[in-house]
Amino acid sequence: MGFIGAKVSSMSDKGLKTIGEGFLLDMCEGVGHAILKALQSIGALCLFIGKSVMHVFMPPWYPRLIARQFIDIGYYSLPVVGMTAIFTGMVLALQSYTGFTRFNAESAIAGVVALSVTRELAPVLAGLMVAGRIGASIAAEIGTMRVTEQIDALTTLSVNPYKYLIVPRIIAGTLMLPALVLIADIIGIYGGYIVSIYTLGFSEGSYLTQTWNILEPNDVISGLVKASVFGFIVTMMGCYHGFNSGRGAQGVGAATTYAVVSASILILVFNFLLTKVFFS
């Protein structure tokens, strides 16, 4: 009796063990596949970036296309970036006023507005707005060209698609975003100025002097460097996801989403990293 019982229990133990092992193996396999896939796409992205950057420095260039992208990415983004900057500056002045009156520190408002806008808000918000505006349109345009074989057509007509499609966009993005952010700096500080003078009753002269006294070249320059990196990220993500777009309308839609989401997240990550490098 006892013998049979022992045998039965050892059998069921073995059964349980194999089920457990199978489950563990499945789980490991799933995790492994996910990691391999992630590494693979990171590798593909790095190769793509390397190839694109290499083509930036190799002739031939297409000056007309670059000029066109300067206008598309720079000039036509002005309204969006300007609106973002002015309202951000205004809100910043209002909010810091409600906070700072508690400590009788109203005089610090000009400095808070100037530093926040130039160091953080102008580059990050401009980067995010441009990611939505430009990153999406780049991914959709290049993705549609991929799906309709226009990129293959470029190749067969002896035109390198990296040089023709990608290089003008990353050059324009990297150079134009700092310009946009410089304008956003001015507009943002002006937004804070308007609110401080017209609703909070500050004197014009002292506000501007305070702003001028607290700002150092590095505050602005660090913001512009960030902007340049963000411009590169936005255009690169748009190009990468568009270039590797899946088939059909769904593929292009997905490429657009990936472009905006990945650019936005990378902007926030790199903002932290660059801030760490500049200010610590």
Partner 1 sequence: MNAEKQMATTPKITMRDVKKSFGDKKVLDGISLTVAPGESLVIIGGSGSGKSVTLKCILGLIKPDSGSIMIDGKETTGYSSAERDAMMGKFGMLFQGAALFDSLRVWQNVAFGLIQGRKMDKDQAHEIALQKLSQVGLGRHVGDLYPAELSGGMQKRVGLARAIATNPEIIFFDEPTTGLDPIMADVINDLIVDCVKDLGATALSITHDMASARKIADHVAMIYEGRIIWYGKVSDLDHSDNPYVDQFIHGRADGPITKNATFKAA
Binding site for partner 1 (CB under 8 A): 62, 145, 148-150, 152-153, 155-160, 164
Name 242's Cβ contacts closer than 8 Å, sequence gap at least 6: 138, 139, 140, 141, 142, 143, 145, 146, 252, 255, 259
Tokens of residue 249, six digits: 């309308």
Q: How far apart are CB 22 and partner 1 at their closest, in Å? A: 23
Helices 167-198, 204-214: axis angle to 10 degrees equals: 140
Q: How far apart are CB 49 and partner 1 at their closest, in Å? A: 16
User: Rounded to an integer, what distance in angstroms lies between the CA atom of residue 199 and that of residue 98?
Assistant: 12
> Which residue in the block uniquely carries the two structure tokens 């309308």?
249
Tokens of residue 176, six digits: 């134009």
CB-CB contact of 58 with 107 (8 Å): no
As a whole number of Å, the end-to-end CA separation of the chain is 76
Tokens of residue 54, six digits: 């290499």
Tokens of residue 45, six digits: 């992205």
Tokens of residue 221, six digits: 């320059």
Q: How many angstroms separate the Cα of 40 from the Cα of each of 34, 43, 45, 161, 257?
A: 10, 5, 9, 23, 20
